[in-house]
Structure 1
Amino acid sequence: VDVDLRLYHGTITQPGEFVDSSSATADQEESMVQLLSPGDYVFQVIFYDILGGSSLATENCPSFPLEVAIAPTPYVVGNPDVSQECEDASLVLVTNMRMSLSMKFSRPSTESFIKTFESFEVEEKSYLDFEVGFDFLTADTQVILTGELSSGSQVSFYGTPVNNHRFLTKVLSPGNYTISIHDPGALTIDEIKCVSVHLNYLIDVNTIPTGVVLCEE
């Protein structure tokens, strides 16, 4: 199912002026970011059948996860954690040890936010459990794992969204891997100068933790 979102300045019975439509991200999501003036607003959701391209019938009961955050502008400009410039945290990941830490990264005002950690290599089947937590309104963050396998194949995986979190758990084949975090919505609001996230991760290089079921075998 392909889902498009449209925002109107009005009500359900009188949608009024069209404001914006969602844009597709690289990880098959739809995203929309807007600074709103006071008033009434309504979302229109449009479903498409990705096989046929025509509008999907209501009786097919399409469903999808949706996360929406709406707050007064002072919530952003009055929050020093995001409204003041900050220096980038270290982009080095620790392996073979469960890590839990908060990090801050500077956000450019004219382009998408993306930070790439140092790559790591695994020589035997290994295990990755990576979680990034964030404030959805000011720091919606996706995690991407890309890799070049020893066989020469290229792979990429995206985190699964859950409220204010992204989760990525994979059994890794031998190869070289890189983890990046980025804003899938390409947020470019000038008032947001700093991204605050919390990482909770385990990268077990060349080993599989006891109790992990290798579903991919």
Structure 2
Amino acid sequence: MGLTKDPAFQATTFVVIDFETTTPTGYPAQPIEVAALALRFEDGAWKETGRSASLIRPPAFAPVTPADTAQTGLTAEQLQQAPTPAEALGALDRRLTVGTRYLLVAQHAATEANVLHHQADHCPTLARTDFLDTIPLAKHLIPNLPNYRLDTLLAHFGIPQPADRHRAYADVDVTAQVFLQLISAADLDLQLGDLAALVKTAGRTAKANRPVQAGLFDV
């Protein structure tokens, strides 16, 4: 039948998401920028159904460092007037429609999943949404690459490097392009014939959805 003909696949909105963060000692990574791009496969073609990007003001314990600025170009001055995590992530969370099936998509999804887990008070719906990770999907479909970093995948697919690489909105765009290339390849893979198989290969369960293990000595 093919992956994109699976009714469950067609009923899912795929939200490509990317964070830029600062990583203070002794604390989890704190977001300083978020971007998201919603895609849905309808009538044989991909359609963009939503797009969002926002700077985020980090808390005082997580200041932007020179290393952060060197990577992203973002400075402490730029972020002083940015929305708080509660404002930025709350606004993004409210864009998700009740009753719609979502999967988040990210390159190395553990990074984005951890940020959302630690910000769950501000974005409870996003924090409960499971992920597809482009890395294990690419490893399955393109087994002989030297590595599976985003830049390597961009080069493999002939996708130009964005001018603002390491800004969330630019990285979301190119990650989405990689994702669509991977889905095109998955459509021809007999092992990835439906959404369930795709999730088994490349899925990552949100921490909020994982079963809580009872203590070994609970009585």
**TM tier, smaller:** under 0.3
TM-score by length of 2: 0.22
Question: Per residue, is there more helix in 1 or in 2?
Answer: 2
Q: Indicate the structure (1 or 2) with the bigger Cα radius of gyration.
A: 1
Question: Per residue, is there more strand in 1 or in 2?
Answer: 1
